[in-house]
Structure 1
């Protein structure tokens, strides 16, 4: 259950709510690439920069047939307020709140001691196979250029 995901394997399906309380069903996005951008907690500096970089690249993601999601263990109301604070209009911020961290746990990136996910990016292709997976130190902003290069391939 908590094995780290591997390149080439099919990602496990999930359903989470976004900041507007709309349900997101991962397998509804078959035929598109999906970027799952995990961040430890809303309302923190590096996480805010990570989500703003997704928002700033929304149009490019669309051109690249990609849907990007920000995911953390924060509750839906917290995500809603944070999205408003950051000016997030296009990127959907998903709440992995309950069961607490279940999606992060499924992908082997949940930090039990802290109760949050690691900072990580997972990209799946149009057939829901993992084509990119990288964890980052908590204080490090993921390189959006690296993500875009993977999506262009």
Structure 2
């Protein structure tokens, strides 16, 4: 499995979110989309990662960006977790069935563990990958780094 690269077309997906809504990447043409992957719900670092997206939701909007959270947890789990950690605006999507299919398309599924890497992938307004970063599982992604990339002051 090969990690998706900057400049590639982002694979489209349609997944269900924590509000039982279908979400497709193609819904956001003309906007950047942050695909923020966490291994599993109900863990401290994953909670902090999703709360950072929620807490910066307005900043993402000002940068013409839609933040989305992802993991392989099923929809009922996502619903309960979103309520428990008080996500009001952030959509968190269930890549549950076929298990990890979207994570596999992006090259971040950990087959041996049954869940995704912790990763941030930014898709540009034209559906191309503009930035990819995979983190150690125990590391909280730096939200300021992501915002810096989105604002154009850093590119990797």
Q: Where does residue 63 of structure 1 map in the other structure?
A: 62
Please give the alpha-carbon distance, in whole angstroms, between the structure 1 residues aligned to 2:131 and 2:143: 13
Q: Where does residue 23 of structure 2 map in the other structure?
A: 24
Per-residue deviation at 1:4? 1.3
Per-residue deviation at 1:56? 0.3
Moved over 2 A (4+): none
Give runs of aligned pairs for residues 1-150 of structure 1, distance below 5 A.
2-150=1-149
Report the aligned-residue RMSD. Answer: 0.6
Per-residue deviation at 1:3? 2.4
State the number of aligned residues: 152
Please give the alpha-carbon distance, in whole angstroms, between the structure 1 residues aligned to 2:100 and 2:136: 18
Q: Which runs of 5+ in 2 are unaligned?
A: none
The CA deviation string for residues 88-146 of structure 1, in whole angstroms up to 9 with x for no partner, is 00000000000000000111100011100000000011001111000000000000000
Please give the alpha-carbon distance, in whole angstroms, between the structure 1 residues aligned to 2:42 and 2:112: 20
SS of match in other structure, 1:104 = helix
Please give the alpha-carbon distance, in whole angstroms, between the structure 2 residues aligned to 1:106 and 1:93: 18
Provide the TM-score with structure 2 as the length reference: 0.96
Q: Which runs of 5+ in 1 are unaligned?
A: none
SS of match in other structure, 2:141 = coil
